[in-house]
Amino acid sequence: MPRARTSVHPLAHVVTTAALASCGAKPSGPADTPKDLSTATEVDPQPAPAAPRALVGKWMSLACGERTYPRTIDFAADATFHAEELISPCPQDVDCVWSGIIERDGTYVVADGRIALTDTSEASATAKPLPATLEIHASSGAPVELAQGGTRCTYAP
């Protein structure tokens, strides 16, 4: 079920402060007056679990084990991801019937040095399945895919 979001307009405080001043009242202190209105944020009563900052962003692995094509995974701070499987990309400046790129979406959870992936997209007959989990490289924080035969494929930002 979608969560209800409550937004506070960034100018709401300015209007309130101006109304108080016109009545002769003073705001309660400097914390009431934002210095930069661009810092206003939405209020989310049930925020999603935060992803480690180092993980959020796009990561790419050129090939890994039986997967002979590049895979990009874009981890969002709201614990969702978007993956692209570059199976047979259409060459630049050429029109193709099929783009050769499989896109997937899902959610992820980070715990105990691992990233558990839940792919919510339809299965693809041409793309290798996403791994159920990725490890997190201890020193770099990069995702690491474990392929058959023990090959470890570290993703690059």
* Per-residue pLDDT, 74: 98
CA–CA dist 103, 110 (Å, integer): 22
Q: Does 52 reside within a domain?
A: no
Containing structural domain, residue 148: 57-154
Q: Does 107 reside within a domain?
A: yes
Please state the domain count of the chain: 2
Token representation of residue 70: 């590049």
In this prediction the pTM is: 0.63
Percent of the chain predicted with pLDDT > 90: 41
**Contact by Cβ (8 Å): 113, 73:** no
The stretch 103-128 carries a mean pLDDT of 91
